[in-house]
Structure 1
Amino acid sequence: MEPVSVFIMDVTDSSSAGYGEELSDYLGKLETNIKNWYGKIGSVQVKHRSGDELIFLSEGYSSAFITAFYISSIWSYEKNLPYFGLAYGRLDKKVKEIDIEKWIHPLVKQARNANEHIKKQKDRETFCFQIPDKEPGLQTLINGMLSLQNVLRMEQTDIQRLVCSLYLIYGKQNTVAQLLDRSAPTVYSHYKKGHCEQILRSYREIVSVLDDSEAHEFPNKEYKQMNTLEESIRTNLKSQVQHMFNL
């Protein structure tokens, strides 16, 4: 058995966007970028399908959430935000053996149900987990934390959101200040007023919980922290950051 995680991503109001082809091209490039993020770190399956849908499968309980959080942090279309239904669990095959377009599995159904839950919301949140019935309390806690995180993110101004994304990628105040051509105190003010510390801490705490759950359920498996994955994502993004954020 292999520990894996899944997400199904949709895009808000994509059918009414006047730039549907452009958005579709963007999702196709995102699929390629995600594959580059993983490189040789671990097996990943990701596919842009059904116009505005992205389906993702990778090793590790936290990998889908890590990937989804970075996607949401660099997303370019503010009027057509992505949302993610997430699930994790055990797989009786290797990820590389899966045909992601034809894959039928309870984890896909869980991710689909979580995605549909968001779709029905009047004010859509960004993330929702559906976790196996044996852990209903954990699902409530994680989704509750994600709801609070979403409120903080939606209240951010454009500059606060940008500062938060750059902190996620670089983690250094002076580097973010240089990129934005602003003083370090000004950047720190945006960081504090935009509740970036709380947003990024909640992200890391959820990743930690997922990693701990994986380590507990697979005690005899060589445990691989997701730090290497994040380092790879950040390295890839740093080479594109000026283009992504029009800096």
Structure 2
Amino acid sequence: MNALVLIAEDDAEIAGILEAYFQREGFRTTHARDGQVALDLHTALKPDLLLLDVTMPRVDGWQVLAGIRQRGNTPVIMITALDADLDRLQGLRLGADDYVVKPFNPIEVVARANAVLRRAGTISEAAVLRVGGLSIDLDAYQASVTSPQGDQPLNLTLTEFRLLVHMARTPTKVFSRSELVDACLPGSDALDRTVDSHLSRLRKKLEEAGAVRMLQSVRGVGYRLGVQP
């Protein structure tokens, strides 16, 4: 049975967006409009993951998180407009597994949820990664981009494929060149300019297939796979 995600969020519009994106990716969802309902549903349904807003009626998110941690180890991702370092530290101190700040990209939230659930052993890694219009078949070592003209296959080298997969596992995260070397070119003597060369060719192939501006450079930092909801 697919993983069940409990969305504790008092903003109906935000909750609806999250439910739509998670259901599209095959998750089951349920919604709590306040903290007390979230605690009650957690007891009754034993969800696989909790998406938890901080500022909610009746019982706030910090209290819900503390209550959840007294019961067990259900993975929890905090979703909040509170972006100060102290708020992040508070969430991690109380046992949150991840922390997402509003406004957020719902695709990124789903990707983070998948990562948290994999770490918890709830789900195994999917055979196909999907990021926006990009699909990556991990078993077949094939990638394609969906466009108005249909699926456009990408003719990638093994290194290009590894780089694309690594970034696709955490959409919108900025990766430094050294991170990409360590993850995708282990044991090599690759330099930063080598990574730049591989990613330049990868970007050209993505754009030719219709994924314009998907692979982005972040000046002074590195690269990210940017996606649009």
> RCO higher in 1 or 2 (8 Å CA, sep ≥ 6)?
1
Q: TM-score, normalised by structure 2?
A: 0.32
Greater strand share, structure number? 2
Greater helix share, structure number? 1
| Structure number with larger C-alpha Rg | 2
